[in-house]
Amino acid sequence: MSRPPLIIALPDANVLYPAPLRDYLLQLASLGVYEPIANLKDFPLNELSFHAVRAEHPDAFISECIVRDSSKAIKALENQVKSLKNPPIPVEKVLKNLEANGLIASVAKLRSKI
């Protein structure tokens, strides 16, 4: 099995994500679907350029995660829905939120699995 691709995000940059997208990414990571690099000091910047760092659209990255492990991808969505309490948001609305954040292909994949 090929290793999951690495995604690199600066902790402070989290705020740039719309929350629904950020939370789904974090839910996927917490189930181990991909491994975020928690510690940038493990990757000194002058070394980073030697690694295959690529910019990827979240829709492409998340689609790949769903293909890799669809049951965990659904679990991540369920966990996200469960975390929304005030007010509760039904799964269909959460999917719409994710779509509004640009996850078009990913949401289509998730819908076909539910």
Partner 1 sequence: MYLYSLEINKMEGLLEKTTREDQRIAKTSADSLRKASRKLSQSEKSVGITLEHSHETVRLPRKAISLLSTILSSMAAGKSMALILSDTAIGTQEAADFLDVSRPYVVRLLENGEIPFSKVGTHRRIKVSDLLAYQKKMKSTRRKQLNFLARQAQELNLGYSNE
Binding-site ranges for partner 1 (CB under 8 A): 1, 18-23, 26-27, 30, 32, 35, 68-72, 74, 79-80, 83-87, 89, 93-94, 96-97, 100-101, 113
3-state secondary structure of 7: strand
Cα 92–Cα 94–Cα 100 angle in degrees, nearest 5 = 105
Considering the complex, what minimum distance in angstroms separates the CB of residue 57 from partner 1? Answer: 18
Considering the complex, what minimum distance in angstroms separates the CB of residue 39 from partner 1? Answer: 11
Considering the complex, what minimum distance in angstroms separates the CB of residue 44 from partner 1? Answer: 18
3-state secondary structure of 88: strand
Looking at beta carbons only, is 61 or 78 nearer to partner 1? 78
Looking at beta carbons only, is 30 or 60 nearer to partner 1? 30
Considering the complex, what minimum distance in angstroms separates the CB of residue 22 from partner 1? Answer: 8
Looking at beta carbons only, is 49 or 74 nearer to partner 1? 74
Nearest of 68, 8, 80, 18 to residue 40 by alpha carbon: 8
**28's tokens:** 């996927």
Read out DSSP for 11-40? Answer: GGGGGGS-HHHHHHHHHHHHTTSS-B---G
